[in-house]
Chains A and B, each alone.
Chain A
Amino acid sequence: MSTKEKVAVTIDAPASLVVLRPIRMLVRELLDQWLSVEEHAEFVDDMELVFSEAFTNICRHAYPDRDGEIRVTVELDSNRLELRFEDTGVGFDPESVPDPDPASPGVSGYGWCIIREKTDRWSYYSDGRGRNFLELSVRLPQGR
């Protein structure tokens, strides 16, 4: 595959766990095709995990008591993977999420820690018109 190539995929989906696995699989397949999965299996596993955490968090926390939508955009070029999630639900403050404490393990609260750890850059903001954006950026492993 040429290093000049770039691909972007946008998916509008219900914020529902019913579609978590199919969309996660699509992202995984895209990465498998973009990279050599045999050489980069751990990276692909990590990105599948990051996607799962972001999508599940929005389903659970952005729309706690109503149906909603998520727009997912996946962009790949020769250097980076960018994942963007848009929703119109309840926003949150990422800085308020504590790191896991093994002395008092919780049943939730690990997702944001995973996202922070597995990505190079992240941002979360609201546009003031009811849309929230989670943007994640990761450098691709060398040698694709």
Chain B
Amino acid sequence: MEVTLHGEVAVIATDEKLDAVVAPQLKETVRKLADEENKRKIIIDLGKTKFIDSSGCGSLVASLRVLTKNRGEMKIAGPSRQAKSLFELTRLDRVFEIFADVESAMRSFR
């Protein structure tokens, strides 16, 4: 998991797998960025993530909650076919703001 800062926007690039093994790490990363570094605009870049399960989805919902509490925004970028299918099945496609890539997500903040 890699965090890069682009002005006031933080981009978190997740690894190849987003499952129960790493879900706590994503939640903690977002919490630290929002609570301790006052970052309120966060993009979760799923571009490298080939596998996501419900624990990964849960960590995205938890991250969204943290940001909403801090009056922030979270966007999801670059989901794979598998991720998009899972978001539809869990109806989280109606909850998340989803973009094809990081650039589109970045533009949506302006």
- Using CB atoms and an 8 Å cutoff, list the residues of chain A in contact with chain B: 17, 20-21, 42, 45, 48-49, 52-53, 56, 59-60, 100-102, 105-108, 110-111, 113-114, 117
Residue in A closest to B80 when the chains form the complex, CB atoms: A45
Interface size on B, residues (CB 8 A): 25
Tell me the number of A-to-B contacts counted with CB atoms below 8 Å: 67
Interface residue SS majority, chain A: helix
- On chain B, the residues within 8 Å of A113 by CB distance are 89-90
Among the interface residues A42, A45, A101, which one has the most CB atoms of the partner chain B within 10 A?
A45
Q: When A106-B61, A114-B54 are in contact, do A52 and B19 touch as well, CB less than 8 Å?
A: yes
CA distance A17 to B56 in the complex (A): 14
CB distance from B30 to the nearest CB of A (A): 12
The 10 A-B residue pairs with the shortest CB-CB distance in the complex, in nearest-first order: A110-B54, A102-B94, A107-B58, A52-B53, A102-B91, A111-B54, A107-B62, A56-B20, A110-B90, A105-B95
With A107-B58, A107-B59, A111-B55 already in contact, 19 other A-B pairs whose C-beta atoms are closer than 8 Å: A21-B17, A21-B19, A49-B51, A49-B53, A52-B20, A52-B55, A56-B54, A56-B55, A60-B20, A100-B90, A100-B92, A102-B92, A105-B61, A105-B95, A107-B61, A107-B65, A108-B58, A110-B54, A114-B89
- Using CB atoms and an 8 Å cutoff, list the residues of chain B in contact with chain A: 17, 19-21, 51, 53-55, 57-59, 61-62, 64-65, 81-82, 85-86, 89-92, 94-95
